[in-house]
Amino acid sequence: MRKVVIVSLRFNPAFIQFLIAYAKAVRELGYQAAFLLDPTYRRFAEVESAAPIFGVESAYGQQWTHAVFLNPAIQNRDIAAALKREGAKVLYIFHEPWDMSLGYLRSEGVASTMKAILAHRATIPVLKLADTVILASRYGMKVYEKGDARFNGNCVHIPLIMEDEAPENIVRDLTMKRNFGFCGALCRSHGFDQYVSFMRDVFRRRADVRFLVASRDPFPPSIMRDPSFSQNRDRIEIRCGRPLSNEEMNLCYAECFCIWNLYRRSTQSAVLPKAFMFGTPVIASQIGSFPEYVEEGVNGRFAEANNLDGILGALEEVRSHLGAYAVNCRQTFLKEFFYGSRLADIRRLLL
């Protein structure tokens, strides 16, 4: 019997959906699944109900056959090495292959770039130890092959997988989809400043668009001191400042008719499959992996973040054909990102 431990030793609420999806995939393949997690994850009941949780102190001597590492963490190297000595195969899901450039520095700023450099330095030993590196997009594969492949050339492409959490009527009842949403980190690489500029322009024009912002990051209070925002507070739904539960995030996606994916930089957006899960189209940049999954006029639209008229026109078109977009988004999710459609890929990894 194969015993698979799924490891995330740096808490990030966005990784909850991946933890649960991999645990369910492992169990459906007939194997045992368990978690090795940062203690903060224990606050989320959906994680504890998906598989048994082990602490680092009790991770050893469990006869794991495979260890799946989800994200960078300082402890990863030592634990991966120890589990490998005990006979486990190490699989590393590499969300952000290294792509340092001046463009990265411009989009992230000095502080975030330094943080990324340190995270990458912690990742290199795990890449070297891994039996297989898993990359979430074909674009990510190309970036990896240009850089980090020198540490480990054994890599495969499997998109970010999730369980299907949307209600059955999500594409039949669209009445709750009223907002143009921003979900995730309120950072420059995700174009949050440009989203705010678009909000300001909408308020100035008195265009018919409502907004929803959902993030563990605090919503900048300086924005709400701007009269154009304070006078339109009833048109902005803000759910920020703490890690939202999976259920709370799902509600955010369900309440949006379109999601902002006009990023400056992205290898693979976790927001994209979550939006598609809830039948919600995106407006995206033609960068990273977005062109792999976003089909113009089918499950989303492409635009330029500084083209405010173009964004407004795209939103109006999406809203007027939302029924068709919602069906297409669901089809994309079930084909590409639903864990059940990737069982054969995961089985091959666990042989």
Across the chain, the runs of DSSP E, i.e. the strands, are 3-8, 32-37, 53-54, 66-69, 89-94, 132-135, 155-157, 179-183, 210-215, 236-240, 256-261, 282-284, 300-302
Sites in the chain below the pLDDT cut of 50: none
The pLDDT of residue 70: 92
Q: Of 200, 348, 190, which Cα lies nearest the Cα of 283? A: 190
pLDDT at residue 73, as a whole number: 87
pLDDT at 111: 67
Q: How far is CA 277 from CA 164, 195, 246, 252, 328, in A?
A: 7, 23, 13, 12, 10
Query: In this structure, are residues 73 and 95 in contact, taking their beta carbons and an 8 Å threshold?
Result: no
**What are the beta bridge partners of residue 181?**
212, 259
How much is the pLDDT for 273? 96
Tell me the three state secondary structure of residue 270.
Answer: coil
Average pLDDT, the chain: 92
pTM: 0.91
For the chain, report the end-to-end CA distance as a whole number of angstroms. 11
The whole-number pLDDT of residue 14 equals 84
In this prediction, residue 268 carries a pLDDT of: 83
52 contacts 35 by C-beta, under 8 angstroms = yes
* pLDDT for residue 330: 98
pLDDT value at residue 102: 53
CATH topology of domain 3-158: Rossmann fold (3.40.50)
Superfamily of domain 179-336: Glycogen Phosphorylase B; (3.40.50.2000)
What long-range pairs does 103-112 form, CB within 8 A, spacing at least 24? Answer: 103/265, 104/265, 107/188, 107/189, 107/264, 107/265, 108/187, 108/188, 108/189, 108/265, 109/188, 112/187, 112/188, 112/189
What is the reported pLDDT for 335? 97
SS3 217: coil
Instruction: Please give the distance of CA 23 from its chain centroid, rounded to a whole number.
Output: 17
Q: What is the pLDDT of residue 189?
A: 87
H helix runs in 33-177, sequence order: 45-48, 76-85, 102-129, 138-146
Express each pLDDT in 131-180 by its tens digit.
Answer: 999 999 999 999 999 889 999 999 999 999 999 999 989 998 999 999 99
Model pLDDT, residue 271? 95
Domain with CATH 3.40.50.2000 in the chain: 3-158, 179-336
pLDDT at 115: 73
